A = this chain, B = another copy of it.
Amino acid sequence: MEKSPPLVSPTPEYDYSISSDQIKLVRNALQSNNDKVVRDLIAGLHAADVADIIEQLPHAQRIHFVDLLRPDFDPEILVALDEYIRDEVVHLLTSKELASAITNLQSDDAVAVYDDLDHELQQQVLADISESDRQSLESSLDYEEESAGRLMLREMIVAPDIWTIGQVIDSFESTEDLPEELSQVFIVDEKNYPIGSVPLSRLLQLPRRTRIDSIMDRDLKIIPVSMSQEDLAFYFQQYSLTAVPVVEAGGQLMGMITASQMISVIQAETEKDLMGLGRVSEPTLAKPVVELSLKRLRWLIVTFINTLLASSVIAHFEVEIQKIVALAVLMPIVASMGGNSGMQAVTVTVCALAQRDLRSGQIFHAVYKEIGISLINSFILASLLSCSVTFIYKDGVLGFVLGAALMFNMIWAGLAGTLFPVILDRLGFDPAIGSGPLLTTTTDVLGFLAFLGLATIFLF
């Protein structure tokens, strides 16, 4: 019997992103100086993928590869590159090429690339661009780093409230370089204050003679240029925003920020918390080893001091440990369980703070819940541990002392794991960075102290 052909056509194959095999092919072609093959391999590739290739090449091949890209260098490649590698690539371009790349970028990307250049390159670029581009670049840099003013797009459509839909649509024709993510037109009053927005789809659905202010949405979330990107990220999430108007101190409309711009910002902001909890400063291995080492060493020294403190606590009990060595065997359990359960509380609290879920009224509620969780979990683990130790060492008092110290330390960890991030946040420090070291220092010190102290009282 012959097989009938399948009724459903097979799923078409789509290209998603560059594979490590493709990158290897490019490297091999570069190694054998086969420029034509390299060009064929990267033809039609997205700028972000070309940037990935550049990042993974050794220095010499990188120079060669950038040379091949040079005739029509896609400026988007600069945007997609890791900062550290970008710094190398911009020095491979002439200042004319760099100036033309920056001029051809959307205003937000141009600012980001220009801002990372060293002073000398910035001066060279400024000499090679038009007066208006120069002004727009320099005025963006007047705003603080990671503020709405730096992020905003200047390319947008703004319409006075007295216009009709027809007039708004006609103004599109005279505007070049509109961003692809444009989904809203902002409406301003005679003072250039934003007072409403109209989705483009609505412009297309209604008659041309309709007054624009009769169909605009009035519940705008207006963002001042000084707002931090952290706050912006919160508002985009909280209100599911698509685009917001950005205004300068006087209230005049200056630019807009869109959801697609916020994706990388939100990624960066959440990653900051992740890095803070993991006690590293940057999520990159692109820099030289020595530089990376020193950045991490700062954090390790904090841990180091922490462990020295804990050791000095243990040193106070040398006599007791010499008499009952089991104390040395069991003491790391108390410290370690306290540290781990405390980090659970820290993690949940840091997330809640990032999402503004911990308003002042809620903090007592959170502390109360964390203490409840600690009570239940420490009781279960302490019971298990007390029974096992009593059985193994045939010493009920030792079992009791260990269980009691464990419960004490885990309840402290729940309390401190909630309060430390909240307090740091109130004092203006980053709760993700400071809480971990503070917490583990106290859970180590208090853990050893509670266990060895109780043991001294009850066993000697």
Return chain B residues, CB-CB under 8 Å to A5.
Answer: none
Provide the A174-196 mask, 1 if CB < 8 A to any CB of B, else 0: 01001111111000000001000
> In whole angstroms, how far apart are the Cα atoms of A178 and B205 in the complex?
10
- Min Cβ gap A46→B in Å is 6
Which single member of B24, B263, B292 contacts A361 (CB below 8 Å)?
Answer: B24
Return chain B residues, CB-CB under 8 Å to A335.
Answer: 332
> In whole angstroms, how far apart are the Cα atoms of A249 and B9 in the complex?
8
> In whole angstroms, how far apart are the Cα atoms of A161 and B398 in the complex?
80
> In whole angstroms, how far apart are the Cα atoms of A344 and B205 in the complex?
54
Return chain B residues, CB-CB under 8 Å to A231.
Answer: 16
Q: Does A136 contact B (CB under 8 A)?
A: no
Of A184, A314, A366, most buried by chain B (CB within 10 Å of CB) is A314
Q: Does A273 contact B (CB under 8 A)?
A: yes
> In whole angstroms, how far apart are the Cα atoms of A19 and B356 in the complex?
10
> In whole angstroms, how far apart are the Cα atoms of A274 and B247 in the complex?
34
Which single member of B11, B17, B251, B303 contacts A337 (CB below 8 Å)?
Answer: B303
> In whole angstroms, how far apart are the Cα atoms of A44 and B183 in the complex?
24
Provide the A350-375 mask, 1 if CB < 8 A to any CB of B, else 0: 11100110011110011001101100
Return chain B residues, CB-CB under 8 Å to A346.
Answer: 278
Chain A's interface size range is: 35 or more
- Min Cβ gap A415→B in Å is 14
Pairwise interchain contact A376-B311, C-beta atoms closer than 8 A: no
Q: Does A160 contact B (CB under 8 A)?
A: no
A296-B264 in contact given A328-B314, A336-B307, A361-B24 (Cβ < 8 Å): no
- Interface residue stretch chosen among A32-40, A60-68, A282-290: A282-290
Q: Does A458 contact B (CB under 8 A)?
A: no
- Min Cβ gap A66→B in Å is 20
Return chain B residues, CB-CB under 8 Å to A284.
Answer: 348
Provide the A278-319 mask, 1 if CB < 8 A to any CB of B, else 0: 111001110001101100110111011011101100110010
Pairwise interchain contact A296-B200, C-beta atoms closer than 8 A: no
- Min Cβ gap A274→B in Å is 5
- Per DSSP, chain A at the interface is helix
Nearest neighbor of A14 in chain B, beta-carbon distance: B222
A9-B251 in contact given A274-B351, A289-B373, A361-B56 (Cβ < 8 Å): yes
Nearest neighbor of A227 in chain B, beta-carbon distance: B16
Q: Does A240 contact B (CB under 8 A)?
A: yes
Q: Does A173 contact B (CB under 8 A)?
A: yes
Pairwise interchain contact A178-B203, C-beta atoms closer than 8 A: no
Q: Does A162 contact B (CB under 8 A)?
A: no
Of A48, A201, A321, A366, most buried by chain B (CB within 10 Å of CB) is A201
- Interface residue stretch chosen among A95-103, A112-120, A254-262, A422-430: A254-262
Identify which of residues 1-56 in chain A touch chain B, using a CB-to-CB cut-off of 8 Å. Answer: 8-9, 11-12, 14, 16-17, 19-20, 23-24, 44, 46, 48-49, 56
Q: Does A138 contact B (CB under 8 A)?
A: no
Pairwise interchain contact A237-B251, C-beta atoms closer than 8 A: no
Q: Does A92 contact B (CB under 8 A)?
A: no
Identify which of residues 191-222 in chain A touch chain B, using a CB-to-CB cut-off of 8 Å. Answer: 193, 199-205, 219, 221-222
Return chain B residues, CB-CB under 8 Å to A333.
Answer: 304, 307-308, 311
4 closest residue pairs by CB, A with B: A278-B347, A259-B260, A328-B328, A20-B359
Question: Could you list which residues of chain A lie within 8 angstroms of chain B, going by C-beta atoms?
Answer: 8-9, 11-12, 14, 16-17, 19-20, 23-24, 44, 46, 48-49, 56, 79, 157, 169, 172-173, 175, 178-184, 193, 199-205, 219, 221-224, 231, 234-242, 247, 249-251, 258-260, 262-264, 266-267, 270-271, 273-275, 277-280, 283-285, 289-290, 292-293, 296-297, 299-301, 303-304, 306-308, 310-311, 314-315, 318, 321-322, 325-333, 335-337, 340-341, 343-344, 346-348, 350-352, 355-356, 359-362, 365-366, 369-370, 372-373, 376-377, 380-381, 384-385, 444
